[in-house]
Amino acid sequence: MKFILVLLIFGSSAVHGAKSNRNAKAGNPYSLEAELSLGLPTASVENPDGTRAHYKGVAASGRGLLPILAFQAIALKLSGGLKYLDLQNTVNGDQTEVGQHVGPGLGLELQAGRFFVGYEYYYMVGRHYSIGPLSHDIKMTYSAPQLYYGMSFSFGQLSVGLSASQSSSKFSKKDTELDADSPIGDQVYWLSLRYELGLSFGSFLQGLFSNI
């Protein structure tokens, strides 16, 4: 909720943002974009007995974007990238549980002026292990839809973005060897740098194959 309030506070700048984005993309509205992000995640896993394990950590993401429709300050983009989560649970004193998750994702992003919203589908590979008196090592794979939203500030070809993402899925009982599947959810606050490459997808492919 706090993040949404911040977006509303800056909402009055949307008109100016639309003008800035239109001027920045006037040369090539279909330019490929590359993005790198760092984030602060919180996550929780619900056990079959109803208890919850809570995690905090760091996150990183890399994303490429391909505009497929563009009109003035509005653009629809294909996205593809890789997400990494490094999580820890230290609630149990001497016992520390570490969770590491990584996987590729594909999706769509809609941008209007400064604001953007996207939906992606990730295929994640995870590992959870314990450090302390009791040890365990569990590996799992799962699919995780992700919704994200935020706003960006453009400086020529470079833009800085502030966003939040929400994702949910389940750990299969076949992986955890528990009595039932374990729902998992995470929320991440992101700081992103996005660079407009100045090349359309066709120009990129032409340059790539001309060097082969």
Q: Which of 31-40, 95-104, 174-183 has the lowest mean pLDDT?
A: 174-183
The SS3 of residue 58 is: strand
Query: May I ask the CATH architecture of the domain 2-210?
Result: Beta Barrel (2.40)
C-alpha span between 112 and 50 (Å, rounded)? 41
**β partners of residue 84:** 60, 102
C-alpha span between 75 and 62 (Å, rounded)? 20
C-alpha span between 210 and 89 (Å, rounded)? 50
pLDDT for res 211: 61
Whether the pLDDT of residue 55 is over 80: the answer is: yes
Q: Which amino acid is at 14?
A: A
Q: What percent of the chain has pLDDT over 90?
A: 58
Q: Please tell me which residue, 6 or 27, carries the higher pLDDT value.
A: 27
C-alpha span between 32 and 163 (Å, rounded)? 20
Global pTM value: 0.80
Q: What is the pLDDT of residues 107-158, one digit of tens each?
A: 999 999 999 999 999 999 999 988 776 778 899 999 999 999 999 999 989 9
Q: What is the pLDDT of residues 79-91, one digit of tens each?
A: 999 999 999 987 7
Query: Could you give the count of Cα atoms lying within 13 Å of 91 in the half-sphere of its Cβ?
Result: 9
**Residue 69 structure tokens:** 């429709």
CB proximity list for 18: less than 8 A, separation 6 or greater: 72, 73, 112, 113, 114
Candidates 138, 139, 61, 65; CA nearest to 103 is 61
**Residue 159 structure tokens:** 């833009």
∠ CA 187-9-85 to the nearest 5 degrees? 15
Whether the pLDDT of residue 200 is over 80: the answer is: no
The domains of the chain are located at: 2-210
**Which runs of E-coded beta strand occur in the chain?**
33-46, 52-71, 74-89, 96-112, 115-131, 137-155, 158-171, 182-196
Confidence of residue 48 (pLDDT cuts 50, 70, 90): confident
